[in-house]
Amino acid sequence: MISSKNLRFAYSSQKKFSFPDITCKDKETLLILGQSGKGKTTLLHLLALLITPDSGEIVIANNPAIGLSPIQTTEMRAKNIGIIYQRPHFVSSLSVLDNILLSNYLANQKQDHTKAKQLAEQLGFAEHLAKKTAQLSQGEQQRVSIARSLMNNPNVILADEPTSNLDDNNCQKVIELLKKQSASIGASLVVVTHDRRLKDEFSNQVFL
């Protein structure tokens, strides 16, 4: 589960945000909608503990996530949070498989080849595991990102515009996969987007 209360963040005195409170319990989904520039990515980065709010609270898996030391924050993120970025960030010199296994490495976990291969089968890119990520289509890269976010069985999955670069067919597929995979590990799934196609796919919604 993840929740936030009274979150405020400023990039500068002109660029200040005060975000609505959010709650997403285990196995639940939440869609955060907002037009470009409304602060969706900023909120997602706050929830992912990548930036620190000026004030407010974040609770992840029933533990306070604000006020921790940098090491505790990194541990909290690695253990509990799977992030799918707006544009996938891969290490271009590594194979698809090694990019997925990197999640385990960064969380100080044993590299789980069996799980990586299982996820690749379930997400439909098993035949691409030995390739470099640049050789994959955008839809395939998005599915690799999903696999990577699931490698450490996170408590919370945070997805930033996971469908904005996808056609209708791939949009539908990616959302179904995200929901199915997060449900199978009992995670909370939080998606931020301006993609109105997702409006009917989520019952819990917050507007920025």
- Which spans of this chain sit near ligand ATP (rule: CB under 6 A)? 11, 15, 34, 36-42, 194
DSSP letter at 188 equals: E
Q: Which of residues 41 and 111 has its CB atom nearest to ligand ATP in the complex? A: 41
CB of 17 to ligand ATP, least distance (A): 7
CB of 22 to ligand ATP, least distance (A): 15
d(CA 208, CA 200) in angstroms, rounded, equals 17
Q: Which of residues 27 and 194 has its CB atom nearest to ligand ATP in the complex? A: 194
DSSP letter at 20 equals: P
Q: Which of residues 105 and 207 has its CB atom nearest to ligand ATP in the complex? A: 207
d(CA 128, CA 26) in angstroms, rounded, equals 32
CB of 89 to ligand ATP, least distance (A): 15
Radius of gyration, CA atoms only, the chain: 17
168 burial (CB, 10 Å; 0-12 / 13-18 / 19+) is: exposed
Q: Which of residues 101 and 157 has its CB atom nearest to ligand ATP in the complex? A: 157
